[in-house]
Structure 1
């Protein structure tokens, strides 16, 4: 590392220490107050309020390093992979039905969200299509920009979609259960304590999983790669211990801080407009998910909460954490979200190119 690079790195960490102290305090308060997923939602809300109240470039709202966020998300993947057991996979024979339902939900939401953003909010076809995609945050931002969409609106609507689900779903489950879900409820996978050997193997699983995911271009690879390697290692008995709850809470704290800081520089007028659009899109998601669950439920023996977590278009990491906290199969939930992202990234853009963009080109409105 050169001297200028080292100096910049030290300056960034000095700036991060300020916001991390604030978000750590928010996490402790949220934990004390019984908020669902307090170690993620407390920092997220605090960092977002800080980012929106200070001018862009302020020393208290530095860019959060993607490398640190990737490690934290990978830790959650290791924990979810540690829940992989033959008993949890006993219902895998029914998954083809629920995966068909997942495909139906994804395509239905893509169409309904597009109609809402196009006609309800008056967005151009490209921006409306990629804003309405129910999966693949970074992929849809990149695709939307490549096809001439409004990058700022796509980013805001996609990000707010995830934030609303992450905030409202744990709250709804907490009200339903009569107790907070997430870290307040003690999110952890039952198992023996972590040994030094297990710790080294889990660290290797994190590195190997994320490297392999990049090589294979897996969707949500930073979490899915470590999840797969951890699942194999635990299922074969190579690793016996589980990721310590304290480490998972720390990972949630940093992920929540990173998410909140992404509100930096967002104009309030645009935020209000996009927030209203995202709230309506969330209502559309709830209605569509409820309809598909009602169709598939008579043919399967899977609890409704697990289906809701699997079908609602939220973050892979966050939905896995909630699944663990309510006793649902996190492998089942995560598998469905990966399938959703695959459809949203690989199939729905082709529909856009073949139908929406072509029709827009004929009428002269597509960007």
Structure 2
């Protein structure tokens, strides 16, 4: 079956999420396929940030910690994220970065797993997850990071495993782990389960409580559209909260930060995982992005993600066959996230030629072309046109020009 531009436009006309595109500030002439790396700017963020700067900061000054509830923002925004990941409102808090949150949870979790010294993960996990796990193991007596291929993870779980740490959706391939199955297997082995949701939250349904997940972290600047470097979040199951103690015992994690006592007593619940003063402007920008999900059915989001993927993959086969593109993302929607990736030995110059033509995806070394399928603002027509442009680039060979070979600092 050949998919025409008219077919794509018909899909857009029937899309229940089509109206959300107008909620974003998207530049004319650009097809944005990198929302899995940096989400687009919500229009509401612009006015909300103006209010935060001019009124809350400029006029109300320090009074805003109380009058505008700056002090409660980490918990308030965390509760909103909880609805997107199948968690209870008091189990999620917005704070720090994914890397810092991973460190806090890895150390806190392994310290209560007496007699177990293994942190189990997989090779090819996102680098910050691997690096942070290694750094945490370095300060934990006798602890080691052990990696196993995805198919061998269950067999690798054993009496020495303290923590299984995995990314739900792989950052390169888009492959999705079976969260419920692997969490259950970890528990059977006596281990705790920690999941990185950075490429899941806001794009596909997540049910942490339903899967009985112990711990999780996630990113605020991808599908949640919180802006560059937006604060991350962490989740701790309510049954574990009073057992765990953050290794970064900053003043905002104290039970009474404004008592200014010398001794540290952790706050009750997930608040104990706060550390320093919250970055208020960034928090409020993230809140604007999350508020867009308030009336959205994640089932509609997942269905559109699947349909966008299917159109993209079909169009590549129709328009770009014979040019060496190898699909590396699983075709089964239950086994993937919301981006589509292709392997090509010249992925970098091809990605740069695409950007020059107004199609912004990204490249992941050594050979992955990656395209984010963000259901809130991406149109089916965008997908059709993007593949048409890619076909033109491959047919013409323009990507071989020397100007496309130079690597940038960020790919």
Taking structure 2 as the reference length, what is the TM-score of the superposition? 0.24
Greater strand content: 2
Larger radius of gyration: 2
Give the structure with the larger helix fraction.
1
